[in-house]
Structure formats: structure tokens, C-alpha cells
Copies of this chain bind each other. A is one copy, B any other.
Amino acid sequence: MDFDKLRSAGYLTNHLARLFAHALHGRIAPLGLAPAQFMTLLELWEGDGLTQVELVSRLDVEQATMANTLTRMERDGLIRRAPHPEDRRARLVFLTDRARELRAPAIEAARSVNADMLEPLTADEQNVLVDLMEKMVSARRTARRQGEMAGEE
């Protein structure tokens, strides 16, 4: 009947995510970026001209969430959206020059946040942590795909 939140993976993950988000916000806000925008840019910097559907599947957020994030990014001059040449339902997302210029400083900011947050761990521990988190995330992706196959809705 008792529950030790300080040993609960879910509780700790939530807490850590808030700490990471707070730190990232502090370092990219001066660049005019918000965390979800940065996450989206990470994909677009690898190559733009993607549809919303493609961004959704790569970033694993809901379609509605991405639609809103893209609207804010367009408002903030980070992207523009052009009609898809072969599918009139879809729009392609392109980076603006401003967004391209932010790549180096924003990535540097994110790196420093990771470094600061991981600082209490040894290099080995840092690698173990990332390995374990990666394992959990990819197991979920697999589980979800198989659930879909089985028609769980």
C-alpha cells in the first residue's frame, strides 16, 4: 500500500524531464527558441521539405501537437510551409535562413545542458544511463507497432 516515489522510475523521469526542460529553456530562449521548436528543428536541420506526417513519426508526438508547434514556428519565422506538389492535402515544411543560422548555437546550448545535468555522473554512468533509456524507448516503439498489427486501436 505504500509507494516510494523517490524510487519510482516514472516519478523520477517526470522530475528529470522538467529539470532538463527548464535548463534547455533557459539557454535557448535567448535564441528565440522554445524546447519543442528545437526538437523539431533537429529533424529539419537534417533535411527539410518534410510533411507533418513525417515529422510526427520521427519525433513521436501526436499529429495535433505537431500541427500547433509548426504554427508557432511559422509565426516565429523559423519555417514556411509550401503546398505538396503531388498531394493537395499535405504541406511541405521548409526552414528559413534564420532557422539555419540557429543550428550551431542551439546545438551547443543543448550539449551544455546535457553536460550540466549529467555532471554528477561518471562517464561510464552517463553511458549506462543513455543505454538503458534508449532500450526502454525502443522497446516501447516495438511494442506499439506490434499492438497496432494486432489491431488494438
Chain A residues with CB under 8 Å of chain B are 1-3, 5-21, 23-24, 35, 39, 42, 60-61, 103-104, 107, 110-111, 113-114, 117-121, 125-126, 128-130, 132-137, 139-140
Q: Are A13 and B16 in contact (CB under 8 A)?
A: yes
Q: Considering the complex, give the chain B residue whose CB is closest to the CB of A116.
A: B143
This protein's copies in its complex:
2
Q: Are A133 and B103 in contact (CB under 8 A)?
A: no
By a CB distance below 8 angstroms, the chain B residues around A61 are: 18
CA distance A134 to B2 in the complex (A): 19
CA distance A141 to B129 in the complex (A): 19
Q: Are B110 and A3 in contact (CB under 8 A)?
A: yes
CA distance A75 to B95 in the complex (A): 44
Interface centre among A12, A23, A126, by most B CB within 10 Å?
A12
CA distance A132 to B110 in the complex (A): 20
* Contact with A117, one of B7, B10, B111, B134 (Cβ below 8 angstroms): B10
By a CB distance below 8 angstroms, the chain B residues around A129 are: 9, 129, 132-133
* Contact with A120, one of B2, B107, B135 (Cβ below 8 angstroms): B135
Q: Are A17 and B19 in contact (CB under 8 A)?
A: no
* 20 A-B pairs in the complex with CB atoms less than 8 angstroms apart: A2-B107, A3-B42, A5-B42, A8-B114, A8-B130, A9-B20, A9-B114, A10-B24, A11-B39, A12-B133, A12-B134, A13-B133, A17-B17, A18-B60, A18-B61, A117-B136, A117-B140, A120-B135, A120-B136, A128-B128
